Amino acid sequence: MRLAELTQSQFSDYLGDAFRIEGELEACLNLQLIEATHLSSGRHTKSNGQRPEPFALVFQGPQTSPLDQATYQLQHEHLGELPVFLVPIDQDEEGVYYEAIFN
């Protein structure tokens, strides 16, 4: 699946699911998808005039293995492997939270 074709509703179907990261330097890590939110669209269009609305995803990961801001290969059993730029946005006693913006 092409990254530009993904929509918020596709990810909403997988809220609560684990997305796996298998990095060369990091140990394998599972992030749980906890939010999939529409963003204000502005003027986003492709050449054919159709562009999915921009959206944000929020993932929760363990406190014990925080990730740096970077692009990671997320793996999901139904969506496949996706290169996603993750930004750490918060941390609490339940874990570290990461955001990915799709526009």
* pLDDT tens digits along 91-100: 999 999 999 9
- Enumerate the H helices of 2-103 as residue ranges: 8-12
92 phi and psi, to 5 degrees? -145, -170
Domain ranges of the chain: 1-41
Residue 1's SS3 state is coil
Q: What is the pLDDT of residues 43-69, one digit of tens each?
A: 555 545 566 789 999 999 999 889 999
Tokens 């939110």 -> residue? 37
0.75 exceeded by pTM: yes
What does the pLDDT read at residue 50?
Answer: 62
CA distance 25 to 42: 38
| CA pseudo-torsion sign 43, 47, 48, 54 | negative
